[in-house]
Structure 1
Amino acid sequence: MKVALIYNKDISGVINTFGMQNKEFYNEQTVKKVADSLEKAGHNVAVLDGNKQIIERLENFMPRVNEGEQMGMIFNMAYGIQGESRYTHIPSMLEMLGLPYVGSSPSGHALALDKVLTKIIWKNNGLPTPDFWVFNSHDEDMSSVKFPVIVKPKMESVSFGLKVVYNQEDLREAVHFIVAEFGQQALVEQFIRGKEFCVGLIGNSPVESFPVLEIDLEGDPDAIQTVDDKQGKPKRKVCPAHISEELSAKMQKISIEAFKALNLRDFARVDIRLDEDDNIYLLEINSMASLGETGSYPTAAKVAGYNFEALVNKMLDVASVRYFTNTLPQAEASKPVAKSNPTARMRTFIKTRQQRTEKLLKQLVDTDTYVRNVEGVNYCSGIISSELSQMGFTQEVHPQLEVGNILYFSNSFNQDVDYLIIQPLDNRIKLAKHENYNEQEQYLEGTGIWENKGGIAIFISALQALKFSRNLRKLKIGILLITDSSIDGRYSKAIIQQKTEKAKAVISLSGSSKSGGMILSRSGSALYRIETKLIKKDNPENVSATAMNFNKTLASITDISHNDSNNIIAPYNIEFTSNIFKMTAYGSAGISIRYNSPEKLDEIEKKIKKILAAQKRSKIFQVKIEGGLKRPAMAVSTKSKQFYDSICDLAKKIDVRISEEHRWSSADICHINKDMPIIDGLGPVGEYLPSDNERIIRHSLIERALLLALVLKY
């Protein structure tokens, strides 16, 4: 399942700083431990910062679900950034977006965070809670207050602002501090001398209670646990608590009733005070119980039989069952997390090396590999060669003077290979327009990063994962680096055909569309150049006639593909110059044809020749056309479709979205002339930008590397 873990890190990611600022944050090590626990269970996890960019982040990681796809989940660890009821902010947004999540609803969080409303609801449900008073200002009438009392903010957690007071003067000072510091009402609650406990809860129907945990106050009935205790040196925790089974069972029962009274979901922690006569008092309930490993909630869960990994995945499971009834059997939900999941281990390996993968990608993108820049192309090939040689690949060089050298790598030379990876390295972008690598939180940008260089980083990452899992040596893999893709494979065509003769299947890693497009077919390409020139210069009207005929000819040729969804004809680099006084006129234009079958190309060529036939007899102007086929069309074969179906099965297992796609652009794999399994588009998810730049979704480097590793493995 796809799981987006949301927490708060960048609290500056807002439009304005306004209202009460959050003081409660998760340690990043805890966030990482939760993510690792989910990954070890086989989930596809992304850790996202819950600020104003969260919607775009979520949309990139888990886009709209198509029919038949499994919906992902949000593991919400975001306490909010600022303002009132901050626990509700991310859940409210998720409700709007239509994304299921772990934890209580916005209304549940709002009630639990508001300690006054919580106590009112509990009292109305006959649940025991200390008497209380609420003050807006330190100068209000406080004559009804019975001391000692504990003063706290109305809507905070983690013991922020707690203070026990014994007289009215100290009470006024404490209320003034709360109102001024937290910008909210002060809750004044009867202080219960005695012991302190908490009860962890998990589940919905039924709600499961962990063993009661006692906060060791070292025998001091007047002691409390402050925020400094929790964040600095936490008080010792005793679990199970040293109380009678009857009292323990009563605390658990009351805690579950308190949970249900507020209509909370999935998990929570109830804080309890026990007076010296063993009377139970509910203090508050934390609807986002901390997962800090030394905290009360994970400590009690461990005693209940849930290690940290099992607890985290249990939380995800109970939320999933709530949303998707019966899709996750309850019996399976509580099982410990398996530690021998090879796919999860490979995913973790790929994620831990993401920084190195991105560093390699930066080197590739920052190198200008314009097709005529032989030095740059060869330098880039050298970077790749260095990475592959460390994994036991040797290379075969096919020297090229006009473009960079074409390289073939293999870990089993002179043998048939299981897979041949064909990957272009060059591009059409000259140095003046080359965009260097640019790193953003969600995206990586740069020339060639989507079309080819991201794919190179992915196959290196996938091969490293296979080596780590000791599967690489079992596979026979060939890698062909093409350096003339921008000029239609002029020099590589024969090499491609030669190498594919010894391969069982062919893979290319062109960039994938945002729908996860896997390319099973590509259009063929044909290029023509048409020229016209005025030859009869005895009348100025002939200049106009030449111009009019040139434009009419281009329009007629372009119109051949009108209403034809399988073929496209488009003119480019159109130029026309004329001078009435000198009586000169010259026009030229390229004509690009994308077609999907040889028969259709023949038909198009016949129509073009027919359009030009009458003009060649003209005595006013001369017309010339040259060009022809550059690459054949790649049609969907039965074997390619079967290959795609097998990849679909693997993608579903690791929650990576893919779809079948036809791409109008031609590519090097179009030169393969035998019926064999061919797939393209296994590269990163991304797109062309309005400029000549490209960008990819950062997380897709991980997803696609894992998918490729599994494709090669199985």
Structure 2
Amino acid sequence: MKIAVVYNRESQAVINLFGTQNREKYGLETIKMIKEGLVSGGHQVKTFEGDKNLIKNLEEFMPTVISGERPGLVFNLSYGIQGRGRYMHVPGILEMLGVPYVGSGPETHALALDKVVTKMILLQKGLPTPKFSVLDNPDSPLTENLMYPLIVKPKDEAVSFGLKIVHNEEELREGVQVIYETYNAPTLVEEYIAGREVNVGILGNNPVQALPPVELVFGEGPQIFTYEDKKNKSGRTVEKVCPAPLTEKETERIQELAIQTFKALNCYDTARVDFRIDNEGNPYILEVNSMASLGADGSFIYAAEQIGLTYKALMNRIIDITCERYFGADFLAPVEEDFQKMDVRLFNRLTKKRSMMETDLKAWTNISSRTEDPVGLSRIRNKLEERLLKLGMNPVDEFTNGRSAWTFETGAGMKDGTLIVVPIDVPGERTGFPIPFRTEQEWLYGEGIASSRGGITVMLSALNALKEQKLLSKKNVGVLFYSDEGRGMRYSSSTLRKATKEVKEVIVLQPGFTDGKVVDQRRGTKQFSVIVEGDPVRIGKETKSIDVLQMFIKNAEKVQKLNNRKGKLAIAIQDVRSERYSVLKPHRVYATLSITYIDEALAEETEKAIRELFTVNSKGIRTNIEKLVERPPLIRKKNHLLLDTLKNLSEAWNLPFGTESSLLSSAAGEVAKDTPVVCGFSPASKGLYTPEESLHRSELVQRSLLLALYLNEG
């Protein structure tokens, strides 16, 4: 599970600093111990300050989960940066984000931090607490009949800030004056209970467990636990005795009161209730610490050790308690792997290693391999070959041309099996530096991340999962990767067509659409280079012949009229440039013209019409049309067993799934007509072939899981 340990220590990253500043901080050593304890429990852990950057950090660390996946969780240690209700800030943010977290909710922290409200609730519930009064300022009258000595403390501070024993009116007013000036807050005044101080830690929710009571032995000096004592600045050592030397009846009584207090304030997971026990053995509740300190020398840790919970064990026990509260007891009772079904093992493997999957994707994305970059293509090809060899797959020379297409197969071979097809080049002519990998909550960005890298990562993740379960070598699976997607597969298409005749089905790892939609129909593409040449002509010279640029524009208008919306055929002139000498008119025009289509017969007629348009008899003008790319369409089939199986698997695992048609051609059109094929199996994309190209983050693991499950079925 991903766990973010959130605390407040150094950061003051807020829009404005004002109001009551936080004085409580967790030590770096404690934060380190908590992290190490959680890591020892098999969790993936990162630490973050609880400031205005928290949302962004959690978005990057905790992507939206898929159905059945264990979500991320926050181990909340945050005391807040500023404000009277600072304990509430991080829990409130997490409630809004929908992120589970350790500890009580914001409403409980608000109650517990306000000692006056806490005492009022305790009295309402019939729970014992010292008599008290509230002084708003140093001159406020003491309305209650309280007996000296008294305790003064700020009504909504923690860690014993401002705590003091006063013995008369003069000391009382001095104490209230200090609190008023230091904290700008009302003062809680309560009767001092002479006797013993005992803390009871609480762990759990249903049932709630009271830890053994811990007695604080103060020795000389004030018989209260001061701020200086807690920070080891008082010059004395406060001894902790656990279990506290109480009778069995007294222990049961104080533990029961602690549990009732925990429930009265609607606390969750952990807390600590502080008591004074007078000389007659009567317990009084002083306050509730809704965020019990987890410092190694704290009474909560000390008490947990007495019941056999080491520090590491306690941290992981707290996580289990929190998960049980959010997700139910079944969440804590995973079936032993030997007894799990294979598909469950694959699910657990892939979802638990989502971060590794994204790290792998980042590594692939940060390798530049544009179509025209032979060095980059060689680098990524070598790395992919190395990974496939480590998976135990073998090269297939028959379906490798050594220039633009390479094929590998499992030990069982690919014949009558599944062929996975993935491009390794990034199409498009781009200038400048490659776009680096970056993360957002729902989308991952980077050059070629959707058009190429997502498919590579999905394929390797699925195959790795199968290999870990010792399944891959038994499956009839082939992988064909190619490096000329940006050239319309001019050189690799024949190798692909040959390979697809050997297999039962083909899955093409091109980007799909959001909501888990794959592509079951794609248009074909014909792309032409058109050149119109003529003699150089001076501007203003009278001539009967039309110049080459005018001739091209005239025919381009006629070309546009060949568009056939009803016949699903579209024509586009994509690039136009001209050449001329100095002040002369253009003598040469270059253009790229593309047709996308479904009906191949209609496409042939349109191609013929275009060639006729650019066949001219004008004196001095010459034309040349060359076909650069011809990619057949993928035609939707009525009975599609491959699609039906994928749909059924998706429904069984609550994965999004659907079908969509696409205007863009792909390798799927090259597959033999009688071979079932699904395209768009990679995660959905945005900004495809642009600098803002991105890949849907959740679909990275969804597609990897669906591919692994499908290959396991085969």
* TM-score (ref. length: structure 2): 0.74
State which drifts further: 113-122 or 625-634: 625-634
Matches within 5 A, 1:457-606: 457-511=457-511, 515-530=515-530, 538-539=543-544, 546=551, 549-557=554-562, 559-561=563-565, 568-575=570-577, 587-595=589-597, 597=598, 599=599, 601-603=600-602, 606=605
1:490-521, CA deviations, whole angstroms, 9 ceiling, x for partnerless residues? 22223323333444554444456664554454
Q: Which residue of 2 aligns with 1:642?
A: 644
Taking the aligned partners of 1:531 and 1:430, their CA distance within structure 2 comes to 21
1:193-233, CA deviations, whole angstroms, 9 ceiling, x for partnerless residues? 32413252644xxx532134312435969364869769999
Matches within 5 A, 1:128-277: 128-134=128-134, 152-157=153-158, 159=159, 161=161, 163-166=163-166, 187-192=188-193, 193-198=195-200, 200=202, 202-203=204-205, 208-217=207-216, 222=223, 224=225, 238=242, 247=250, 250-251=253-254, 254-255=257-258, 257-259=260-262, 261-262=264-265, 264=266, 266-276=268-278, 277=280
1:653-682, CA deviations, whole angstroms, 9 ceiling, x for partnerless residues? xxx666655444332233222555644555
1:538-559, CA deviations, whole angstroms, 9 ceiling, x for partnerless residues? 34887896365245235424x5
1:280–1:120: structure 2 CA closer, same or farther, 3 Å change rule?
A: same
The runs of 5 or more residues in structure 2 that have no matched partner are: none
1:278 to 266, 276, 281: 281
Q: Which residue of 1 aligns with 2:75?
A: 77
| 1:271 Cα offset (Å) | 0.4
| 1:108 Cα offset (Å) | 3.5
Q: Which residue of 2 aligns with 1:406?
A: 405
- Check conservation: 1:18, 1:82, Cα contact below 8 A: no
Taking the aligned partners of 1:184 and 1:704, their CA distance within structure 2 comes to 56
State which drifts further: 160-169 or 578-587: 578-587
1:198–1:579: structure 2 CA closer, same or farther, 3 Å change rule?
A: same
Q: Which residue of 2 aligns with 1:451?
A: 451
Q: How many percent of aligned residue pairs carry the same amino acid? A: 24
| 1:424 Cα offset (Å) | 1.3
Matched, 1:372 2:372: yes
> How many matched pairs?
678
Amino acid at match of 2:557: K
Q: CA RMSD in A?
A: 5.3
Q: Which residue of 2 aligns with 1:688?
A: 687
Q: Which residue of 2 aligns with 1:433?
A: 432
Q: Which residue of 1 aligns with 2:109?
A: 109
Taking the aligned partners of 1:545 and 1:585, their CA distance within structure 2 comes to 11
- Secondary structure class of the residue paired with 2:561: helix
Amino acid at match of 1:424: P
Taking the aligned partners of 2:573 and 2:455, their CA distance within structure 1 comes to 31
Matches within 5 A, 1:375-394: 375-394=375-394
The runs of 5 or more residues in structure 1 that have no matched partner are: 321-327
1:296 to 300, 325, 341: 300
State which drifts further: 107-116 or 244-253: 244-253
Amino acid at match of 1:406: A
- Check conservation: 2:151, 2:164, Cα contact below 8 A: yes
| 1:162 Cα offset (Å) | 6.7
- Check conservation: 2:271, 2:290, Cα contact below 8 A: yes
- Check conservation: 2:202, 2:259, Cα contact below 8 A: no
2:325 to 314, 318, 323: 318
- Check conservation: 2:275, 2:287, Cα contact below 8 A: no
Taking the aligned partners of 2:332 and 2:478, their CA distance within structure 1 comes to 42
1:497–1:185: structure 2 CA closer, same or farther, 3 Å change rule?
A: farther
State which drifts further: 167-176 or 281-290: 167-176
- Secondary structure class of the residue paired with 1:210: strand
| 1:573 Cα offset (Å) | 0.9
1:164-202, CA deviations, whole angstroms, 9 ceiling, x for partnerless residues? 535578877876776677665554554443241325264
Amino acid at match of 1:86: R
Q: Which residue of 2 aligns with 1:672?
A: 671
Taking the aligned partners of 2:369 and 2:299, their CA distance within structure 1 comes to 53
1:614-634, CA deviations, whole angstroms, 9 ceiling, x for partnerless residues? 786786987765536324225
1:583–1:468: structure 2 CA closer, same or farther, 3 Å change rule?
A: closer
- Check conservation: 1:200, 1:209, Cα contact below 8 A: yes
- Check conservation: 1:73, 1:101, Cα contact below 8 A: no
Q: Which residue of 2 aligns with 1:424?
A: 423
Taking the aligned partners of 2:569 and 2:39, their CA distance within structure 1 comes to 47
Taking the aligned partners of 1:301 and 1:686, their CA distance within structure 2 comes to 52
| 1:486 Cα offset (Å) | 1.5
1:404-450, CA deviations, whole angstroms, 9 ceiling, x for partnerless residues? 55332333175537543322111235674341644568676542233
Matches within 5 A, 1:2-17: 7-8=6-7, 11=11, 13-17=13-17
* TM-score (ref. length: structure 1): 0.74
Taking the aligned partners of 1:86 and 1:469, their CA distance within structure 2 comes to 48
Q: Which residue of 2 aligns with 1:323?
A: none
1:492–1:614: structure 2 CA closer, same or farther, 3 Å change rule?
A: closer
Taking the aligned partners of 1:298 and 1:450, their CA distance within structure 2 comes to 52
Taking the aligned partners of 1:700 and 1:350, their CA distance within structure 2 comes to 14
- Check conservation: 1:229, 1:235, Cα contact below 8 A: no
Taking the aligned partners of 2:514 and 2:299, their CA distance within structure 1 comes to 41
1:646–1:506: structure 2 CA closer, same or farther, 3 Å change rule?
A: farther
Taking the aligned partners of 1:515 and 1:6, their CA distance within structure 2 comes to 32
1:3–1:167: structure 2 CA closer, same or farther, 3 Å change rule?
A: same
- Check conservation: 1:398, 1:407, Cα contact below 8 A: no
Amino acid at match of 2:281: D
- Check conservation: 1:513, 1:687, Cα contact below 8 A: no
- Secondary structure class of the residue paired with 2:385: helix
1:333–1:35: structure 2 CA closer, same or farther, 3 Å change rule?
A: farther
Q: Which residue of 1 aligns with 2:127?
A: 127
Amino acid at match of 1:77: F
Taking the aligned partners of 1:704 and 1:510, their CA distance within structure 2 comes to 12
Taking the aligned partners of 2:414 and 2:603, their CA distance within structure 1 comes to 42
| 1:482 Cα offset (Å) | 1.1
Taking the aligned partners of 1:662 and 1:287, their CA distance within structure 2 comes to 55
Q: Which residue of 2 aligns with 1:324?
A: none
1:618–1:387: structure 2 CA closer, same or farther, 3 Å change rule?
A: closer
1:68-100, CA deviations, whole angstroms, 9 ceiling, x for partnerless residues? x78997744342642222333344445556778
| 1:572 Cα offset (Å) | 0.9
Taking the aligned partners of 2:99 and 2:490, their CA distance within structure 1 comes to 49
Q: Which residue of 2 aligns with 1:350?
A: 353
1:300–1:611: structure 2 CA closer, same or farther, 3 Å change rule?
A: same
- Check conservation: 2:404, 2:491, Cα contact below 8 A: no
